[in-house]
Amino acid sequence: MGRFDGKVAFITGGARGQGRAHAVAFAREGADVCVIDRCAPIDTVPYPLAGPDDLADTVALVEAEGRRALALEVDIRDGAAITAAVATTVDELGSLDIAVANAGVVGFGRFWELTDEMWADMIAVNLTGTFNTMRAAVVPMLERGSGRIIATSSMAGRMGNPNLAHYVASKWGIIGLVKTLALEVASRGITVNAVCPAAVDTDMVHNPALYSLFCPDLVDPTKEEVTPRYQATNPMRVPWIDATEVSAAVLYLASAEAHHVTGSTIDVSLGSAAGMP
Ligand X SMILES: NC(=O)c1ccc[n+]([C@@H]2O[C@H](COP(=O)([O-])OP(=O)(O)OC[C@H]3O[C@@H](n4cnc5c(N)ncnc54)[C@H](O)[C@@H]3O)[C@@H](O)[C@H]2O)c1
- Catalytic annotation, residues: 167
DSSP 50: -
Nearer to ligand X, 82 or 256 (CB): 82
Q: Say if CB 113 and CB 63 are below 8 A apart.
A: no
What phi and psi, each to the nearest 5 degrees, are found at residue 51?
-120, 175
Nearer to ligand X, 190 or 194 (CB): 194
CB of 106 to ligand X, least distance (A): 6
3-class SS of residue 121: helix
CB of 255 to ligand X, least distance (A): 20
Whole-number Å distance between alpha carbons of 24 and 112: 41
Give the interface with ligand X as residue ranges (CB under 6 A). Answer: 12-13, 15-19, 37-38, 49-50, 75-77, 102-106, 125, 129, 152, 154, 197, 199-200, 202-205
CB of 52 to ligand X, least distance (A): 10
CB of 249 to ligand X, least distance (A): 12
Residues paired with residue 195 on neighbouring β-strands, in sequence order: 152, 266
Nearer to ligand X, 2 or 51 (CB): 51
Position 30, amino acid: G
DSSP 124: I
Q: What is the dihedral of CA 50, 119, 247, 12, to 10 degrees?
A: -50
Nearer to ligand X, 191 or 269 (CB): 269
What phi and psi, each to the nearest 5 degrees, are found at residue 194?
-125, 150
CB of 265 to ligand X, least distance (A): 12
Nearer to ligand X, 142 or 238 (CB): 238
- Spell out the SS3 assignment of 187-226: HHCEEEEEEEECCECCCCCCCHHHHHHHCCCCCCCCHHHH
